[in-house]
Chain A
Amino acid sequence: MSVDRYEAVIGLEVHVHLGTRTKIFSASSTAFGEEPNSCTDPVCLGLPGALPVLNRAVVEAAVRLGLAVGSHIRPRCRFARKHYFYPDLPKGFQISQYEEPLCEGGAVEFRLTGESRKVRLTRIHLEDDAGKNIHDNSGVSFVDFNRAGVPLVEIVSEPDIRSADEAAEYMRALRALVRTLGISDGNMEEGSLRCDANVSLRLRGAEKLGTKAELKNINSFKHVREAIEHEIRRQTAVLDRGEAVVQETRLWDPDRGLSQSMRSKEHAHDYRYFPEPDLPPLAVDQDWIARARASLPELPESRFRRYTETLGLSAQDAGVLTSEREIADYFDAAAKACAAPAKKVANWIINEVLARVSDPRALAAADLPVQPAALAELVDLVEKGTLSGKLGKDVFGRMWQEKRRAGEIVASESVAVVSDAGLIEETCKRIVAAHPDEVARYKAGQSKLLGFFVGKVMKEMAGKANPKTANEIMQRLLG
């Protein structure tokens, strides 16, 4: 068998919770982690006689997303009922959009191992989430309807994705996008971002699509990659045996690292879509679209281009900085407050700041020990030579620990670099006099020993000597 014989063709359906305060069709809270069934009301519980009323903040959020990916926003769209029976689905149908979605077309741009990629979108539509079944050990099942009615956008891609890695990067890009837009926390642990994957294989070079399987229940970047890789291997084996892939829906089991068939095409749900009669068609006028467009922040991809093209950052650094909205915001704020080149600020953030937080979203926290302006101050002290790189790192550590500004630490504890050439020269002379053997070896050509001498000087001066000055003086003394 050979994986390379086949090309994978993958399309993703990504569900994103929109972070509105209230539900899509009623006024209860969307808060996560509350007491089960405490954030409910007659509408989201599907009680008889309750009627949905559309939350305009939800539409606003989806329109912003549509504009950010270049979708066409339909001036008039409709909701539709999608029917199936399940205990967590209170009405016996989901209110979704079918023939007339809010957004059509558009594309998501991102990079895969340095290469620029573009995945086209079929559509983005609105729908309500279902509740959650909870099974306990005694065989009793419960349903928590707090999640029922939480607004979702479903982002349906064209089958433009060719690998598991690309699928994961696409998901990351979407997550960064919705977080930058401020329309979702993109929190995968809380189920704010979930995906189904349609995977098929075809012989390399073939035009015609193969038979696809739909993978459900994928809820982390890691699972996206694992589930798709597994599915590609599974279908490859089927095809290599000369068999046909069965069109079916498969449930990904992340614990066991495999998928199981849920239902075949013959047993596929007939969702019996029809226009939701309780909701009139939704009109989104040009004014509304214009206001939404005007409110768009700088998006991750244009930030990336600005960082690489205008600020001269490497693609790798720009990639790290734009991977989370909070990192990029932090970087922008620090770079703005700093006289030193942006590249220097980027290094400090990547090497020092990010090393100290487990979740980069913490960079937006008001109680973050080192705020962007404080970092900028430190970077400037280092760049001016007031602090050596080594000292700067120490000072940063203390800033983080003690929540103090760099200037304050330097002023109060004389940790600044000694740039007094006379003082440094005295020390250098002492070191040279104390190490005649090394001097002789240096003079015999072992120029690497310069580091040894400078190191001794730095040690003698408790690391406070300006390393550049010490280097120059030592070189001169050693002749």
Chain B
Amino acid sequence: MAWPQVAGVSIADLADGVRARKWKARDLVESYLDRIARLDGRLGCYLLVDADGARARADQVDAALAAGRDPGPLAGVPIGLKDIFVTRGLETTAGSKILRGFVPPYESTVSTRLAAAGAIALGKLNMDEFAMGSSNENSAFKPVHNPWDLERVPGGSSGGSAASVAASLCAGSLGTDTGGSIRQPASLCGIAGMKPTYGRVSRYGVIAFASSLDHPGPFGRTVEDVAALLEVIAGHDELDATSIPSPAGRYREACAAGLAGMRVGVPEEYFQSGMDPEVEAAVREAIDQIAREGAKLVPVSLPHTKYAVATYYLVCTAEASSNLARYDGVRFGHRTAEASSLDELYSKTRGEGFGAEPKRRIILGTYVLRSGYYEAYYGKALRVRRKIADDFRAVFEKCDVLATPTSPTAAFKLGERMADPLQMYLADIYTVAPALAGVPALSQCCGFTKNNLPIGLQIIGPPLGEEAVFRVGGEYQRRTDWHKRLPKDPS
């Protein structure tokens, strides 16, 4: 039978169609499941497809509609969850062998909220192990291929979340961004993705990589899709003590509010050497277009940007070494087959369970936090982090948002940077500073290279300034067609 054609359809259209009974949630789900079955073998987006669960939940949505109840704003919208969100009864691995077989007895706040809004989770999406990476090549299970060029990476760490939306293997998805893990893959896959303000979206049930930097957030084909998902998942959660106690904003409205009076800052530090000329050209053209549509451009400076990558790697490795201490083989996940002592239980379990990148970061982070060196490393990094946040605070006196590139290059080839972690870390150069400052930032498509690889534009707002970001991103998208391009289905 022919399922509805879902490739490229927006979340709003899907939900409206379900609510108007134009199509059944069950048919949408079948349509996506069919695409996953046919295409994901080449893409590697999903670590787990919960076909039966998705069908059952779709039937519930259809039954609710038939009974005259409103299933919610995301009625029947099939979505994917990065495998870092814990899902009750569904294996959750964070892309790591050490969590293989871990079936959580509880559910993350954001996936709970999505389900309550009528969205249907299709499964768990591939990712770099414990969200550590910029190419998804650190997944312990399999790489993800970029739908625009299967030889290339989708970005990371939320590579499966980005590629699955780009390839229409789900209508929208959730990822996490610690140093760029939503924005960079969104950029490399030609879709939209937002890292909201730190604390805007609950981290409860999100497997921690670096707690003070972990930002859950949505991916969508369009900026409006991202806004629609964010409206559902944002807002205070009493299970997360760092959650901001205020309700979610009206992000979809902001997408249509226009640019009147908007001041867009262009930070000089984000346009320096090392950027691919094609990327620079596309981003500059996008900024010029935003100006032509009515925004005022303001040249600004964020002088501490040059310390961001170093600061980021001190903070995130320190916190990771702590957060990953709980994987000891005692209570859940992998445990080594044989150990003759407690120390051996730990060293073998962790040695076998963790891949190279988590090991590298645990070692770095342990070093950073050791007694007598805390001040020189972690303490200093926290002080620089405050300086970086102060930079943002200062520029947002002069402008409403910032516009920059998301990634210095378009998607690179699989394997190209695996031998050189430092080169890989530099993929985050434009995304880490907003993560350290905890400010919201959106990436959306603003062009393609000669090789037909997407280029991303990053729009950064002040704390809780998601609406301002959506105003600029929404208006830019309305004036351009980049988001309408779809990659060809892999054969």
A270 touches B207 (CB 8 A): no
Inter-chain CA distance A270–B368, complex, in Å, is 12
Known: A85-B328, A277-B319. A48 touches B374 (CB 8 A): no
B325 touches A85 (CB 8 A): yes
Query: Is B378's CB within 8 Å of the partner chain A?
Result: yes
B325 touches A93 (CB 8 A): yes
Minimum CB–CB distance from B174 to chain A (whole Å) comes to 13
Closest to A27 in B: B239
Range, interface on chain B: 35 or more
B322 touches A50 (CB 8 A): no
Minimum CB–CB distance from A41 to chain B (whole Å) comes to 8
Interface 1/0s, chain A 79-102, versus B by CB < 8 A? 001010101001111000000000
Query: Is A244's CB within 8 Å of the partner chain B?
Result: no
Contacts of A280 in B (CB 8 A): 241-242
Within 8 A of B (CB), among A226-285: 270-274, 277-280
A48 touches B102 (CB 8 A): yes
Inter-chain CA distance A83–B342, complex, in Å, is 16
Within 8 A of A (CB), among B299-351: 318-319, 321-322, 324-328, 330-332, 342, 346
Inter-chain CA distance A51–B214, complex, in Å, is 13
B328 touches A87 (CB 8 A): yes
Interface 1/0s, chain B 433-471, versus A by CB < 8 A? 000000000000000000000000000000000000000
Minimum CB–CB distance from A130 to chain B (whole Å) comes to 12
B86 touches A49 (CB 8 A): yes
Inter-chain CA distance A278–B242, complex, in Å, is 6
B207 touches A48 (CB 8 A): yes
B208 touches A46 (CB 8 A): no
Query: Is A54's CB within 8 Å of the partner chain B?
Result: yes
Contacts of B205 in A (CB 8 A): 49-50
Inter-chain CA distance A92–B342, complex, in Å, is 14
Within 8 A of A (CB), among B198-232: 203-208, 210-212
Minimum CB–CB distance from B239 to chain A (whole Å) comes to 6
Interface 1/0s, chain A 59-95, versus B by CB < 8 A? 0000000000000000000000101010100111100
B330 touches A87 (CB 8 A): yes
Inter-chain CA distance A271–B369, complex, in Å, is 9
Contact of B108 among A49, A87, A272 (CB under 8 A): A49
Contacts of B104 in A (CB 8 A): 42, 47-49
| Number of A residues, CB within 8 Å of B | 29
Contacts of B208 in A (CB 8 A): 48-49, 278
Known: A90-B331, A270-B371. A50 touches B325 (CB 8 A): no
Query: Is A52's CB within 8 Å of the partner chain B?
Result: yes
Closest to A270 in B: B371
Q: Count A-B pairs with CB separation below 8 Å.
A: 103
Contacts of B106 in A (CB 8 A): 42, 47, 50
Inter-chain CA distance A278–B371, complex, in Å, is 21
B204 touches A49 (CB 8 A): yes
Minimum CB–CB distance from A405 to chain B (whole Å) comes to 53
Contact of A52 among B94, B241, B346 (CB under 8 A): B241
Query: Is B99's CB within 8 Å of the partner chain A?
Result: yes
Within 8 A of A (CB), among B87-143: 92, 94, 99, 102, 104-106, 108
Closest to A272 in B: B369
B369 touches A274 (CB 8 A): yes
Inter-chain CA distance A42–B102, complex, in Å, is 13
Contact of B322 among A42, A270, A272 (CB under 8 A): A272
Query: Is B238's CB within 8 Å of the partner chain A?
Result: yes
B211 touches A277 (CB 8 A): yes
Closest to B330 in A: A87
Contacts of A49 in B (CB 8 A): 84-86, 104, 108, 203-208
Contact of A46 among B211, B318, B326 (CB under 8 A): B326
Minimum CB–CB distance from B476 to chain A (whole Å) comes to 34
Known: A270-B371, A278-B211, A278-B242. A47 touches B332 (CB 8 A): yes
Inter-chain CA distance A52–B323, complex, in Å, is 13
Query: Is A143's CB within 8 Å of the partner chain B?
Result: yes
A271 touches B86 (CB 8 A): no
Query: Is A296's CB within 8 Å of the partner chain B?
Result: no
Contacts of B94 in A (CB 8 A): 48
Query: Is B268's CB within 8 Å of the partner chain A?
Result: no
Contacts of A9 in B (CB 8 A): none
B322 touches A53 (CB 8 A): no
Inter-chain CA distance A192–B326, complex, in Å, is 26
Inter-chain CA distance A442–B106, complex, in Å, is 92
Contact of A271 among B318, B346, B371 (CB under 8 A): B371
Inter-chain CA distance A272–B379, complex, in Å, is 12
Inter-chain CA distance A42–B108, complex, in Å, is 11
Query: Is B489's CB within 8 Å of the partner chain A?
Result: no
Inter-chain CA distance A81–B104, complex, in Å, is 24
Query: Is A121's CB within 8 Å of the partner chain B?
Result: no
Inter-chain CA distance A50–B238, complex, in Å, is 12
Minimum CB–CB distance from B374 to chain A (whole Å) comes to 7
Query: Is A45's CB within 8 Å of the partner chain B?
Result: yes
B371 touches A53 (CB 8 A): no
Minimum CB–CB distance from A412 to chain B (whole Å) comes to 62
Contacts of B319 in A (CB 8 A): 274, 277
Most buried by A among B204, B324, B325, B366: B325
A53-B241, A273-B374 known; 19 new pairs, CB 8 Å cut-off, are A46-B326, A47-B331, A48-B102, A48-B326, A49-B108, A49-B203, A49-B206, A50-B106, A51-B239, A53-B238, A81-B322, A85-B346, A90-B330, A92-B328, A272-B322, A272-B369, A273-B369, A274-B378, A278-B211
Name B residues whose Cβ lies closer than 8 Å to a Cβ of A: 84-86, 92, 94, 99, 102, 104-106, 108, 203-208, 210-212, 238-242, 318-319, 321-322, 324-328, 330-332, 342, 346, 366, 369-371, 374, 378
